[in-house]
């Protein structure tokens, strides 16, 4: 892509570094910014810099936060003895959007994946084990991706806490709503069968 200005080109290259943004989309964004008031554009870049500079991670659950302890951990209305274990912050946002969960989280920062060089030590697992001990957690709910890495992570953590009096559950993994049974992989189908619910309960929920 030949651009008539190196300033324009630099900006396009920066936008094109973002996930899912190609050069054409980047150019469209940059040209849009070019039409805006200079104060608007400066506020835009300041907001990004400030977000990166000032954002904190909750010392208890590793969620993003404006303070040392996040708003979920600091909320006495939430069930502090229930921890939902997730891979990343996007999962927290997804579960929060359902408005169906009133406990707390623990963000692992990834899942165990030896092929990608991610071992348990790189994840927030030790802190989780300490937390369960210290806080006398009543229930741990795993909400991890339904794949081998997710299962490996569950198995590893489960082993580490099996001596503790904490109920351990995992979210039910079933056929995606609207999905076709025949296109579900065997593992999903097997799990769906294993996690079957009485029909009355299914209809109610």
By C-beta, is 66 or 116 nearer to Zn ion?
66
Q: How far is the CB of 72 from Zn ion (least distance, A)?
A: 5
CA-nearest of 13, 1, 154 to 86 is: 154
User: In the chain, count of helices (H) and strands (E)?
Assistant: 8, 6
Interface with Zn ion, residue 58, by CB under 5 A: yes
Is 115 within 8 Å of 96 (Cβ atoms)?
A: no
| Residue 132 found at the interface with Zn ion (CB under 5 A) | no
Shortest reach from residue 158's CB to Zn ion, in Å: 22
Binding of Zn ion at residue 61 (CB under 5 A)? yes
DSSP output for 71-118: TTTT-TTS-TTEEEEESSHHHHHHHHHHT---SEEEE-SS--BGGGTB
Pick 73 or 86: Cβ nearer Zn ion: 73
Looking at the Cβ atoms of 27 and 87, the one nearer to Zn ion is: 87
Alpha helices in 162-198 (DSSP H): 186-194
Among 26, 70, 92, 140, binds Zn ion (CB under 5 A): 70
* 30 or 95: CB nearest Zn ion: 95
- Contact 89/107 with Cβ under 8 angstroms? yes
Among 11, 12, 30, 73, binds Zn ion (CB under 5 A): 73
Point out which residues bind Zn ion (CB under 5 A): 58, 60-61, 63, 70, 73
């Amino acid at each position: 892509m030949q651009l008539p200005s190196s300033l324009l080109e630099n900006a396009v290259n920066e936008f094109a570094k973002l996930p899912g943004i190609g050069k054409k989309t980047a150019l469209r964004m940059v040209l849009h910014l070019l039409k805006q008031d200079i104060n608007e554009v400066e506020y835009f870049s300041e907001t990004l810099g400030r977000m990166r500079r000032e954002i904190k991670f909750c010392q208890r659950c590793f969620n993003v936060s404006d303070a040392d302890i996040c708003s979920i951990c600091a909320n006495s209305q939430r069930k502090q003895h229930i921890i939902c274990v997730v891979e990343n912050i996007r999962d927290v946002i997804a579960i929060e959007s359902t408005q169906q969960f009133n406990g707390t989280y623990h963000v692992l920062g990834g899942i165990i994946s030896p092929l990608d060089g991610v071992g348990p030590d790189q994840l927030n697992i030790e802190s989780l084990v300490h937390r369960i001990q210290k806080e006398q957690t009543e229930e741990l709910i795993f909400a991890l991706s339904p794949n081998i890495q997710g299962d490996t992570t569950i198995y590893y953590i489960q082993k580490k806490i099996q001596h503790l009096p904490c109920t351990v559950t995992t979210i039910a993994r079933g056929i995606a709503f609207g999905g076709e049974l025949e296109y579900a992989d065997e593992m999903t189908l097997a799990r769906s069968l294993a996690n079957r619910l009485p029909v009355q309960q299914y209809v109610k929920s």
